[in-house]
Amino acid sequence: MNKNNTQTNSFSLSNDKVSATILLVPALIFCTIFIFIPAIGTIVGSFYSYSLTSMNNWKWVGFGNYVKATQDEYFWVALKNNFIIVFASIVLQVGVGTILAAILDRGIKYGRVIFRTIIFTPMVISSVAVSLIWLIIYDPNVGILNAIFKSIGLSTPSKGWLGDPNISIWMIMITAAWQNTGFMMVLILAGLQGVSKEVYDAAEIDGATGVKAFWYITLPMIRNVLIVAILITTIGAFKVFEFIFVFTQGGPSNATQVLGTYIYLQAFNLLHMGYANALSVILLIIALFLGWLQLKSSRKA
């Protein structure tokens, strides 16, 4: 009897393995074609010098493209801008998203659904469309932002909101925050709604209400959700492309260049495909590290 059971179990186990393998094959095929092969191609290409118009003329340069990156002033500008965007996105999107979520969760009694919908709406619009709309808002000649500033007696930047290298990156950040804060708010709101009301009731008895309750009860209770939100924002900030490309194409004078747009510039405008591959590998390593962090914290959450 026992022998039969063992045979049945081992048969069903191997049967399960076969089923699992069959079910995984389509996904593996797609991943291989669209992710693994291009990724390997990019890594291999990063050791060569070639361009989009000389695909049959690859020249081995070893680690030359990586060395070039370390000496490239604009690569460091792009990397620095990515970190600025990470920092600003965390403050603007996660920070403001948390405040909005807290207000919607416990701060107001009526209209929660309406406010939540309004704040979330920009998220469903394409980033390119959002950028084009804000491009008109920021226009130094006919834009509404200049008109508002002038109407209240404030001066506007003489080089334009997007033409001044000192402020253009921040203007793009504001637009990105406008679009993405709603998503962070919904994510954090879900975390907040998972916090038991009994905890607040108990805290109230001990005298912790309002901001105090938020600081000592809410934030520690949603810590893991916040970590996930920060990691999603960080990864998004490293992948940013559309906003920069539509707004400034990395200008003025490379002031808003990020890794995504710089890779595009090198690959398609300056025709340094090998170098662009090397920059992509660097971005891939950063993204993999952040992805690993996200996975780790997600499991914890």
Q: Would you tell me which residues interact with other proteins (CB under 8 A)?
A: 51-56, 135, 138-142, 157-165, 248-249, 251-254, 265, 268-271
Query: CB-wise, 24 or 128, nearer to other proteins?
Result: 128
For the CB of residue 83, give the shortest distance to other proteins in the complex, in Å: 22
Q: Which is nearer to other proteins, 162 or 237 (CB)?
A: 162
Q: Provide, rounded to whole angstroms, the least separation between the CB of residue 40 and other proteins.
A: 19
Q: Which is nearer to other proteins, 102 or 265 (CB)?
A: 265
Q: How far is the CB of 79 from other proteins (least distance, A)?
A: 19
* CB closer to other proteins, 62 vs 207: 62
How far apart are the C-alpha atoms of 83 and 93, rounded to whole Å?
Answer: 15
Kindly state the smallest distance separating residue 51's Cβ from other proteins, in Å: 8
Taking the least distance from each CB to other proteins, the nearer of 123 and 164 is 164
CB of 154 to other proteins, least distance (A): 15
